[in-house]
Amino acid sequence: MTEDLLQVRVRNQWWDVWDQFKTHRGAVWGGGFLLFITLFVLLGPYIWQLDATKLDIRNKDLRPFYTALSGTANWTWAHPLGTDNLGRDTLAKLIEGGQVSLSVGWVAMALALVLGTLIGVLAGYFRRLDNLLMRFTDLVLSLPLLPLLLVMMLLFRDQLRAAFGPETGIFILIVVVIGITSWMQTARIVRGDVLALKEREFVLAARSIGTPAYRMIIRHLLPNVMSPIMVSATLGLANAIITESALSFLGLGFPSDYPTWGKLLFDSVDRMADYPERVIWPGLAISLTVLSVNYIGDGLRDALDPRIRGL
């Protein structure tokens, strides 16, 4: 802490957070990769203009360019990562699939997180709500997932489709379905932590000076349950990307010719031994995205913790 005290005082505290964040190597790498993959899926279609659903049956089962090293492979620069069994370009599918997977993943994860945190904090902080909310959590945990999904599809698919059009309607449905079936773990964890936190001295102190409940929650409780929430976020993102691919088998997801990372992976499992690239690329994309979110979460947690930031 050699900086000028005056300057420190006028500095916004978020600059401190950013400074601390920058020193976290994993977080910087993670942020970099996330930026890259986001640009890849957003700008990719402008640079790589092949349509991911375009069939080209004469050029089916092409191998990626690097297999040229083995000499025998059938490959072309027109499809650098190869094509699938119907001649669809793998690179284009990765780009287009990424758009869907990332947007579904982020939104569904955020929804689950908000729901879970809200219910967890309310149940943990207000004793009167605890029983009701936790028994409701038990109920949702016990519902069999598959029939629940089918019922939701039955009730809402056509309405959403009529209101928002086929693609947006299905997007909303998927995100909501994943969100409301995966908040329970977060809620239980947050509640457990809040139960313990609200007996801590600093909370008692804050309460004794008459801090209202909402400020209590925002300023004192939430910052202290950030780290399990960060972990939930990381796991939730992976979970949402994988779950999306499972949904399309129920007729609940996007139409079958709509690529997503999870679906690319699933469709290629049968041909894994002959065409490893078809599982490696989507698998890597999912894993690296989740890994980078994890590191960003780590970095954020460190940066937001004044005890660490002060060091």
Residues 194-223 that bind another protein (CB under 8 A): 195-196, 199-200
Euclidean distance between CA atoms 306 and 164, whole angstroms: 45
- Which of these segments, 74-82, 108-116, 182-190, 211-219, binds another protein (CB under 8 A)? 182-190
63, 79, 188, 278: which one contacts another protein (CB under 8 A)?
Answer: 188
Nearest approach, Cβ of residue 231 and another protein (Å): 5
Residue 287 binds to another protein (criterion: CB under 8 A): yes
Residue 279 binds to another protein (criterion: CB under 8 A): yes
CB 63 within 8 A of CB 280: no
CB 295 within 8 A of CB 30: yes
Among candidate residues 121, 120, 123, 252, the one with its CA nearest the CA of residue 178: 252
Is the Cβ of residue 9 or residue 307 nearer to another protein in the bound state? 307
50, 230, 296, 303: which one contacts another protein (CB under 8 A)?
Answer: 230
Is the Cβ of residue 65 or residue 266 nearer to another protein in the bound state? 266
For 46, the token pair is: 């402008």
Euclidean distance between CA atoms 293 and 190, whole angstroms: 20
**Residues in contact with another protein, shown as a per-residue x/- string from 292 to 311 under the rule CB under 8 A:** --xx-----x---x-xx---
118, 129, 150, 222: which one contacts another protein (CB under 8 A)?
Answer: 150
Is the Cβ of residue 95 or residue 237 nearer to another protein in the bound state? 237
Q: Interface residues for another protein in 232-271 (CB under 8 A)?
A: 234-235, 238, 241-242, 245, 248-251, 255-257, 262, 265-267, 269-271
Query: Which of the 8 DSSP states describes residue 182?
Result: S
Is the Cβ of residue 25 or residue 43 nearer to another protein in the bound state? 25
Residue 26, CA distances (Å) to 89, 193, 284 in order: 33, 27, 18
Residue 177 binds to another protein (criterion: CB under 8 A): no
Euclidean distance between CA atoms 131 and 191, whole angstroms: 11
Among candidate residues 131, 103, 150, 113, the one with its CA nearest the CA of residue 246: 150
Total of chain residues touching another protein, rule CB under 8 A: 81
Burial class of 30 by CB neighbour count within 10 A (0 to 12, 13 to 18, 19+)? buried
Is the Cβ of residue 30 or residue 64 nearer to another protein in the bound state? 30
Residue 53 binds to another protein (criterion: CB under 8 A): yes
Nearest approach, Cβ of residue 254 and another protein (Å): 9
Residue 28 binds to another protein (criterion: CB under 8 A): no
Among candidate residues 310, 311, 306, 308, the one with its CA nearest the CA of residue 202: 306
What single letter denotes the amino acid at residue 119? I
Euclidean distance between CA atoms 129 and 121, whole angstroms: 10
Is the Cβ of residue 96 or residue 267 nearer to another protein in the bound state? 267
